[in-house]
Chains A and B, each alone.
Chain A
Amino acid sequence: MNVPIIDPLQGDFPEVIEEYLQHGNMKCIAFNRRGTLLAAGCADGSCVIWDFETRGVAKELRDKDCIAPITSVCWSKYGRHILASATDKSLTLWNVVNGEKMARVTLQQTTLHARLHPGSSTPSFCLACPLSSAPILVDLNTGSSTVLPVSVSDAGNGTTAPHPRNKFSDGSPPFTPTAATFNKYGDLIYVGNSRGEILIVDSKNIWVHAIIPISGGSVVKDIVFSRNGQYLLTNSNDRVLRVYENLLPQKFAAKELEAISSNDNEFQGIEKLKVVGSKCLLLFREFQDAVTKIQWKAPCFSGDGEWVIGASASKGEHKLYIWDRAGYLVKILEGPKEALIDLAWHPVRPLVVSVSVAGLVYIWAKDHTENWSAFAPDFKELEENEEYIEREDEFDLMPESEKAKDLDINQDEEIDIVTIEKDSAFSDSDASQEELCFLPAIPLPDVPEQQDKCLGSSSKLEDSNHSGSPFSIEAAQNGQAILPASSPLEVVGNSTAEEAVETSSLKRKRKPSAKGMELQAEKGRKPSTKIKLSGKSSKSKNKHGDGLDTNGSVLEDDVTDDYL
C-alpha cells in the first residue's frame, strides 16, 4: 500500500468526516492488521465485518446463542479469528472465513475489553478485563481462567490485598477496575490497577516482574500499546493521558525482563519490582485538557505512533483530540451531536473511525485538495504568486537543440519487472501468506427486471433487505439516512427508474399546486410513489439536499424537463 508515488504527506491526521457506515446498531470496532477489514460488534449480538476498501458489508457473524450486545471485538494476528465479548458474560471466538462460532466461554462477569493473544496464528488464550475485577487470562479451548494479580502487597507476590480506599462500606469485594493489555508479541501483560500502578506480568507463569507507579495514583482506565510496541499509553481517572516509552526489546521481552530482574540483587520485594519497572517504562509525555478537565475515552495511537488521539463524550458530545508525540494539541475534531462510544485509528492510513451512541460508524479522513499537477505534469502548483523572470533566450528559435533530448535515455539498462518490493509498513510480517487480508466478494445476483412497473416496484422493495446497508453510504454524502426503497433501483438500472418517474409525471401535471404536491408526497408513503420520489432524488441529489417532503414542486420541473 505504501507505493512511492502516493503522497508522502499522507502520514498525517484526519480532518473531516468522509462518510458513515450504517448496519444495525454498532457498539465497538476494530481494524484488522492491515486495515482492509473493519469488524463491528452490534447491539443484537452479531458482528459485522466491513470491507473497508469498498465500504460495504463483507460478512455478518451471527449465531442463535449470541444475542447479547457486544462490548468489544478483537482480531487475531492473521485476521482469521475474531473474539467478541458480550454483556451476557460470554466470550465468543469466531472463524472469519466460514463465519462459524469456534468457541464460547462464559465467565463470572461481563467483560469490557477482550484481547486475543497477539503472537499466535491460532489463538487460544485471551485477556479479558471485566468491569469491576481483576483481568483474567482465559483459555478458550478449555474455558479455564487464571486471575491476574492486580497489586502486590508487602506480604508476597501475587496476593490481591484490597486497598482500603476502594473497599465498600459493607465490606463486599472491592470495586477494582483495571485495564490490561498484551505487549506486541504477547509474552508480557501490562496491567494498570486502581492504585495507579502499572504491573508487568509474565503471561506464562503469572509472575509480577515489575511495578511502575503513575504519579497521582489514580485508577487506570485504559492501557494501550502503539502498533510498533514502542510506546504505551495510559488513561487515568485524574483525566491525564500518559505516554511511556517502552525500554524493553520487542521480541523476547519476557526473557529480557527476567534477566534484568535476576541481575538486580540490591533490592528485595516491592522495591526491587519498582527498580526493575523503572528500567522498562519511561514517562515520555502527559496530555490533558487543563481547562475543561475532560475524562478521556478510548485513547489510542495512530498507526505509525506519531499521533495520539483521545475522545471526549462528556455532555453527549463527539469530539476527538489529536496530539503529536511531542505533546502539542494539533487538532480538535467535532462530530455530530451523538456521544462517542468507541474509536480506532487505521493501521496504515490517516483515517480514524468513531462509533456514536446512535450505532453509526463515522469515518474521518483528510480533506483532499485535488493535486492539479498530478493531472498535468508540466505544471507546478504554487502556494502564492511568484514573479517569473524569463531567460534571455527564452523565445529564440533554435531548432537543432530540440531533438537532442530524445536520446539520452539509456535503453539498454536491465530492468526488473517481476520482483515485488516488500511493504515497509508491514516489515514484521513473517508469514504473510497466511494472513487474511480480504474476504472473497461474492456478487449478489441481480433481481430480474419486471415489465410491469407497479409490481416491479414492490418486489424490489422486498429484495432491498439484503442490500440495504451499502446504499446508505452513497446518500451519506448528504448526511441523511436513506430510505431502503431507493437501493434496488440503483442495482437494476436507470431504465426502470426513468419509466417509473415518467408515469408519475403524467399524473402530477394535473395537480400543479404546491399544497397538492405536499399532500401527494405525504400520501406517497405507498411503495410505488415512494420509489419514484426517491429514485429521482438520488439522481438529482446534488441539487436538492433536503428531504422528500419538500421535493414535490421542484421535482415536477425536473421531471418535465428530462422526460418529455
Chain B
Amino acid sequence: MAAASTDGGAAAATHQPYVLRETLVGHKRAVSSVKFSPDGSLLASASADKTLRVWSTADLSLCAELSGHDEGVSDVSFSADGRYLCSASDDRTIRIWDLATAAPLKTFTGHTNYAFCCSFNPQSNMIASGSFDETVRVWEVKSGKCLRVLPAHSEPVTAVDFNHDGSLIVSSSYDGLCRIWDSATGHCMKTLIDDESPPVSFVKFSPNGKFVLAATLDSTLRLWNFSAGKFLKTYTGHINSKFCIPAAFSVTNGKYIVSGSEDNCVYLWELQTRKIVQKLKGHTDTVIAVSCHPSENVVASGALGKDKTVKIWIQEDEDQKEAE
C-alpha cells in the first residue's frame, strides 16, 4: 500500500497522517461521486458506467450494484435514515433506490438537461436537484411530485445542499454565483458574489449551517459567512480549473477541509490556519470525489477514467504505527 507523504512539517506535528487502507475496484468507467451514509456503515459510489455501487465500510466489500439509469450518474446522496439513495444522471432523471432490496423505487422526471447534483433534506421528505437546464428542482420523496422549480442560475447548476435543519438550500453554478433559497417557499434569500466571478464548481453548508464552503474553478476554496455576504477563509494549493470537485468538512479529529484535485491528490487543509497538512497520493487520475466518514477518521475518494477506483484512507493509530 502506498504511504501518504506529508507536506508542511510544522503544521503536521499535531496531525495524524492518513494512509491508504484499501482500493475498491469495480467501476468500469470514471467514478463521479462517493458518499458515506449518515450512520457511516455504507459507502455509495456513482460512476459514468451508469451504475451505483454500495460498499460496506466495515469490511469494504461490495454490498450492492444498482443499475437502471440510461446514462452515466453524476451524483449520489443518502437519506437521513440510510435506507434510500438518490442519484442524478445524464439521462435527465433522479432516481430513488431502496437499499434493503437494492432495487429502483422511483424516478423523477422533469429536468430538461443533464441532472448533475442531488441531495436529500435532513428530514428526507424532499430532494433538491440541480441540472444543466439551469434550474434547481425540489421533489417530494413520497409521491415523486416536483414541488418547485427554482429559476436558480443562468448556467448549469453544479451543486445543491440543504442546511442542517432543512430550511435553506444553497446552489452554485458556472455563472459564478452561489444562491441561498428558503426551502419552504422557494424564494431567493441571498446571492453570494465576489468581484471576479469564476465558475463555482461546488458549494456546501458547514455542519452548523452558518457558513458556506464554495469551490471555484480558479483553484480556490472559500468559506463564506453567508449572512454577512463576505468570505472568511481561502484555501489554495490544489489544482481545480476544469472539473466540479466537491470538498468536505472533516470534524471527527480536529477540523479540516478535504478536497480532491486535478493533480491526482487529495488535499487536507487545517480549517483555521488554512495550511495544507497533507496530500494523499495514490490515484492515477483527477480525484473527482471525496467524502468524510461521519464519526470515524476515514476519508473516501474517487477518481476519473484512467483510475476508476475508490480509495479509502484512514488515520493510523499510534499502536498501528509502532507495530510496524
Interface residues of A (CB under 8 A from B): 1, 3-7, 36, 51, 53-58, 349, 368, 370-371, 374-378, 406, 409, 411-421, 423, 437-438, 440-446, 467, 470-471, 473-474, 490-491, 493-495
CB of B227 within 8 A of CB of A418, answer no
Taking a contact as CB atoms under 8 Å apart, the answer to whether A415 and B208 are in contact is no
B271 near A417 (CB under 8 angstroms)? yes
Interface pair A371/B187, CB less than 8 Å apart? yes
Is B209 a contact partner of A420 (Cβ separation < 8 A)?
A: yes
Bound CA span A562–B226, Å: 43
List of A residues within 8 angstroms of B104 by Cβ: 446
Interface residues of B in 250-307 (CB under 8 A from A): 251, 255, 271-274
CB closest chain-B residue, reference A467: B143
Q: Which residues of B contact A371 (CB under 8 A)?
A: 187-189
Task: Show 12 A/B contacts (Cβ-Cβ < 8 Å), sorted by A.
Answer: A54-B125, A56-B142, A368-B187, A411-B232, A415-B223, A415-B232, A417-B251, A420-B207, A443-B98, A445-B105, A446-B106, A446-B107
Known: A368-B185, A415-B232, A416-B208. A443 touches B142 (CB 8 A): yes
Please give me the residue from chain A that is nearest to B107 by CB atom.
A446
Q: How far is the CB of B135 from chain A (nearest CB, A)?
A: 14
Contact yes or no, B81 A440, CB < 8 A: yes
With A409-B230, A411-B274, A493-B107 already in contact, the answer to whether A438 and B125 are too (CB < 8 A) is: yes
* B232 x A54 contact (CB < 8 A): no
Tell me, in angstroms, the Cα distance from A285 to B143 when the chains sit together.
Answer: 47
Q: CA of A3 to CA of B234 in the docked complex: distance in angstroms? A: 25
Closest residue of chain A to B225 (Cβ to Cβ) is A415
Q: Does B242 contact A (CB under 8 A)?
A: no
Contact B145 A53 (CB under 8 A): no
Q: Check A374 against B107 for contact (C-beta < 8 Å).
A: no
* B249 proximal to A (CB < 8 A): yes
A443 and B96: CB pair below 8 A? Answer: yes
**Other-chain contact of A470, B145, B191, B195 (Cβ < 8 Å):** B145
In the complex the two chains form, is A470's CB within 8 Å of B143's CB?
yes
Q: Which of B106, B142, B167, B211 counts the most chain A CB atoms within 10 A?
A: B142
Cα A1 to Cα B231 in complex, Å, equals: 23
Docked complex Cα distance between A54 and B183 (Å): 10
B85 to chain A, nearest CB (A): 11
| Structural contact, A53 and B206, CB atoms closer than 8 A | no
Asked if A56 and B145 make an inter-chain contact with CB atoms under 8 angstroms apart, the answer reads yes
Beyond the given pairs A375-B179, A412-B272, 18 more chain A to chain B contacts, judged by CB atoms under 8 angstroms and listed by A's residue number, are: A4-B227, A5-B189, A56-B145, A374-B189, A406-B195, A411-B232, A415-B223, A415-B225, A417-B211, A417-B271, A418-B206, A419-B208, A440-B124, A446-B104, A491-B145, A493-B107, A494-B109, A494-B110
Which residues of chain B come closer than 8 Å to A55, judged between CB atoms? 147
Contacts of A444 in B (CB 8 A): 106, 142-144
8 A-B pairs with the lowest CB-CB distances in the bound complex, closest first: A441-B125, A417-B206, A493-B109, A54-B140, A438-B123, A374-B188, A441-B141, A470-B143
Q: With A445-B106, A446-B106 given, is the CB distance from A414 to B272 under 8 Å?
A: yes
What distance in Å separates the Cβ of B193 from its nearest Cβ neighbour in chain A?
Answer: 6
Chain A residue numbers with a CB within 8 Å of B192 are 377
B232 A413 Cβ-Cβ under 8 A? yes
Contact yes or no, A409 B232, CB < 8 A: yes
B184 beta carbon closer than 8 Å to chain A: yes
Residues of B within 8 A of A5 (CB): 180, 189-190, 226-227
A411 touches B167 (CB 8 A): no
Say yes or no: A54 contacts B190, CB within 8 Å: no
Q: Is the CB of B142 within 8 A of A376?
A: no
Q: Which of B31-74 contact A (CB under 8 A)?
A: none
Q: How far is the CA of A249 from the CA of B225 in the complex (A)?
A: 39
Question: Which residue of B96, B166, B167, B234 is within 8 Å of A6 (Cβ)?
Answer: B167
Q: Which of B182, B233, B234 lies at the interface centre, i.e. has the most chain A CB atoms within 10 A of its CB? A: B182
Given contacts A415-B211, A415-B223, A417-B251, contact A375 B105 (CB under 8 A): no
Q: Is the CB of B106 within 8 A of A443?
A: yes
Cβ of B164 under 8 Å from chain A: yes
Chain B hits for A411, CB < 8 A: 232-234, 274
Contacts of B273 in A (CB 8 A): 412
A440 contacts which chain B residues (CB < 8 A)?
A: 81, 124-125
The residues of A that contact B184 with a CB separation of less than 8 Å are: 53, 349
